[in-house]
Structure 1
Amino acid sequence: MSEFLEALLSSPRKRVPLDELRRHYFSLYPDVQNSPDRGVMLLRALKELEADGAISLPAARSWEQTGSPALPLWITLKSSPRPKVSVNHADVTWAPELGFWPELRPSQLSALRPINDFLLRRRGAFSSVPIKERSLEIFGDEKRLDSMSAEDFLFGGRLPLSVIGCFRVPQPLPYRKVDAPGKSVLVVENHNTYWSFAEWNETARRYTAVIYGGGENFRLTGRALHQAMQETGASSAEYFGDLDPKGLSIPVDFNRSVEPGYPTVSAALPLYRWLLANGVRREKPECATYAAGLAAAWLGAELATKLEAIWSAGTWLPQEALGTEQLHAGAINIKAGSTGDLDGEPTP
C-alpha cells in the first residue's frame, strides 16, 4: 500500500475533499509543493490509486472548472483496495550503487527497482544526459525523476543523479551581447529592467552582456550562466535586483547552491548605491521581519545599514526606478568603452 493511500485512509471520512488531498500529498512530498507540475503529479498519484481499486474519482461535473490540469473536488475511498502481490526485495540482485536499499520504505523500493534494472543493464555504459531523457528511459515517464528528486539527489540524498548519468537542465538565460570582451555580464532580476539596461548597454558597453535572470528562477541556473559567460567572453558576473529580502535572497541562494567549478555572482554595488539614494519606496510590511545578516551578506556592512533602516520602516525599493530615462540621462555616468567605475551618486 502506498504511503499516500495510508495517509488518505487516516481520514475519518470516506469522501476526502481536495484541500485534504493536497495537504496529505505535499506533506509526504514537500519538494513537489513548489514545482510547476505539482498538479500533474497529484493527479497522476490519484489515477494510480484509482487503477489499483483504492479510490473512486467523481464524475466530470465534480472537478475544478479551471486549473491545468483540473483536479477532482473530492475522491471516495473504497473499503477494500485490490491487494498487490508482495515482493521480497531481499531476493533482488541489487547494483552495488544501491546498497542503501534496506533503508527504504516499500513504496520507495518500488521506484528503486526500475533504476536498479537500468544500472544492471547498462553497467556504466552511458553518458550524462538531461534528467527528462533518463527518466523516460527508466520509467517510461519523462517527469518521474523530477518528481522524485530534491536538488541533485534521489531517496533523501542517498543517490546522486550523476550515478544514473543525468542532470537537471537549467532554464536558458536570455541575454543581449555587445562587443566588450573581458568585462562582466550583468544579471538583472526583472524583465523590464533587462530591456532598459540592454538598450543602454548597446552604447555604454559597460558589460559584455545583460542577462535576464527571471526572478526566483535564477536560483538554479548555474550551468546556463557559465555558458552565457563563455559565449560572451565575460570575466565575471554581477547581479542587480530589487532591494527587498526576496531580491537579495535570490543571488545569495544562487551562490550557495552553485555547483563546484561554476561561476558565482557579485553585487553590482554602484547600481544598488544609486537605488538606495534615488529609488522609489514602496510599502511592504513584511520587510520589517527581514532575516538578520541577509543585507550585509550581499551588500556589505555600509549599504546594509541603510537598507535595513528602509526595511525596518516596512518599505522596499524596486529596481525599476533605475530605468531607461535615468540610464540615458546619465544617472550611471560612464562613457562607451570606458573601464572606469560606475558613478552611483544621486542624480542632480
Structure 2
Amino acid sequence: MIVRPSEIASFREALLDAKAVKIEFDTLWELWNRAAPRFTGDLGQAAALKDALLELSDSAVIELPKQAWDRSTVPALPRHILVPASRRPGNDRAWMTFPWCRQLGWVSSLPTLQPALFDDLVTLNEWLGRVEPATLPIVPVRYRSAEIFAREKRLDQLERTKLFGPDQLSLEMLACRRLAPPAPAASVGSGPDALIVENSDTYWVAVEELRNSSGHDIGAVVWGSGRTFPVQVPSLAVDVAGRGPLQGIAWYWGDYDPIGIATAVAAANSAASVDVRPATGLWAAMAGLAVQEAGTFDWSNSAGQEWLGRELWDRLSYVRSAGGRIAQELVPVDAVTVWATNPAAGAANQQACVDP
C-alpha cells in the first residue's frame, strides 16, 4: 500500500504534538499506528513507516540518525528520531537582523527559523549577491542546486519546506525548472500510440513482439519502471524514444495487484497533456488466470474500478477476494501482438481474441 499524504500529515502533527526533541522507536511506532491505522498488522507496515520518515526528513520536519538504526528489521528502522522544532528557542534570532538581499527580505519577519535553514539562506543570499537570476539561462533544478549549495538535491528538500511559497522562494526566482524523469522507451513502429508496461521483462517481450509484427499503431514501448511511472508521465509530452512528443494514446498495462492498479490510476491523473488509458485487452488477458500469493494483498482501498472499467473489474473480482495478484509475466507473449491490432477494443472482445 502507498502511504497517503493525509497519513504523513497526521504523523507529522503527532510528532510535533509530542513536544519532545528525541523520540524513541517504541513511541515512534505507537504514533505511526495512530496516524495510519490501516497499516496495523499489514506486512508493509514497517516499509510504510520508513517511507513516511524519509518524506518528513526530506522536508526537514525530523532528523534521522546517522548510525542508530535497527538493521534486524526489514527494512531497517531508526532507533530514534529528532524533532528540531521541539527544541527550546534561544535568544539568538540572527535571521531577524541579518543583511538580506532584496529577494530575501521576507526572511527577517519569520517567527522561527531552524539553524540549518538559516545557513542555507545565507548561502543563497551570497549567491544572489553575485548573480542576477533574470539574466541567467534556465537550467534543471539539480544543476542550480549544485551550483548554489554544492548539493544537487538540496533544493528538492527546501522546496518541501515553508520557505517556498508566494512572495518567498520559487524555482522561477532561481532561474531553474523541474523536469520529469525520463521514461526508458524503444521505437517499435511508425504509429502515434505507445504501450507502457510496468515490468522490465515484459518491456523486452513487447519490444520484440511489436518490432516483428505489423498492422498496429504502436510506435513505441515504454518501461514504466514500476511505481515510479506517475512522475515520468510528463516526459512523454517531451520525447518518446527519440520520436518527439507522444502524438497518440499512452496505453498502460501493469501487474494486477494493489500497487499496480494504484500506479496506473496515479499515472492517468498525473499530466493533462498525456492521455493515459488502460490497455484493456491485456488486462483482460489476466482474467481466469490462477491467483498468485493468495492472502497476501489488501485490496480494501483500491480505487481502480472507474479507470479499468466495471466489466473487467468484476471479472477480476476473484483475485481481489482471494487477497492475491496476477503478474504480467503470466500472460502469454503473443497476447501483446493480438492486443496491438485493436488496442481500443472492449474487454469482452479482447478476451475472445487471446483465448485459445
- Describe the superposition over 1:45-92 as per-residue Cα deviations: whole angstroms up to 9, x where unpaired: 679xxxxxxxxx9xx9x88889xxx9997899xxxx9x8964142554
* 1:327 maps to which of 309, 322, 333: 333
Moved more, 238-247 or 140-149: 140-149
Secondary structure of the equivalent of 1:192? helix
Letter in 1 for 2:182: P
Structure 2 match to 1:295: 305
The one-letter amino acid paired with 1:102 is S
Is 1:155 paired with 2:159? no
Rounded to whole Å, the distance in 2 between the matches of 1:91 and 1:246 is 48
TM-score w.r.t. structure 2 length?
0.66
User: What is the correspondence of 1:1-348 to structure 2 with a 5 Å cutoff?
Assistant: 33=51, 86-89=93-96, 92-96=99-103, 99=106, 102-103=109-110, 105-107=112-114, 110=118, 111-119=120-128, 121-150=131-160, 155=163, 157-158=165-166, 159-178=169-188, 180-205=189-214, 206=216, 207-229=218-240, 231-232=242-243, 234-236=246-248, 237-258=250-271, 262-276=273-287, 278-282=288-292, 283-292=294-303, 294-296=304-306, 298-308=307-317, 310-322=319-331, 326-328=332-334, 332-333=337-338, 343-345=350-352, 346-348=354-356
Question: 5+ unaligned residues in a row in structure 1: which ranges?
Answer: 1-5, 48-56
Task: Say if 1:240 and 1:272, in contact at 8 Å, map to a contact too.
Answer: yes
Q: Deviations over 1:197-238 (max 9, x none)?
A: 111111124321111110111121134323333733642211
Mapped to 1, the partners of 2:97 and 2:309 lie a distance apart of: 56
Aligned residue in 1 for 2:42: none
Letter in 1 for 2:283: Y
How far, CA to CA, are the matches of 1:215 and 1:140 in structure 2? 31
In the comparison of the two structures, how many residue pairs are matched? 308
Residue 275 of structure 1 aligns with an amino acid whose one-letter code is M
Rate the CA distance shift 1:16–1:32 in 2: closer, same or farther, 3 A: closer
Task: State percent identity of aligned pairs.
Answer: 24
CA distance in 2, matches of 1:127, 1:347: 56
- CA shift for structure 1 position 185: 0.8
Structure-2 change in CA distance of 1:19 and 1:147 (3 Å): farther
Flag structure 2 segments of 5+ consecutive residues without an equivalent.
1-14, 36-47, 83-87
Give deviations 1:128-163, integer Å, cap 9, x for gaps. Answer: 22222111222232221122234xx86365544333
Residues 176 and 198 of structure 1 are in contact (CA less than 8 Å); yes or no, is this contact kept in structure 2? yes
Counterparts in 2 of 1:341 and 1:91: CA distance versus 1, 3 Å: closer
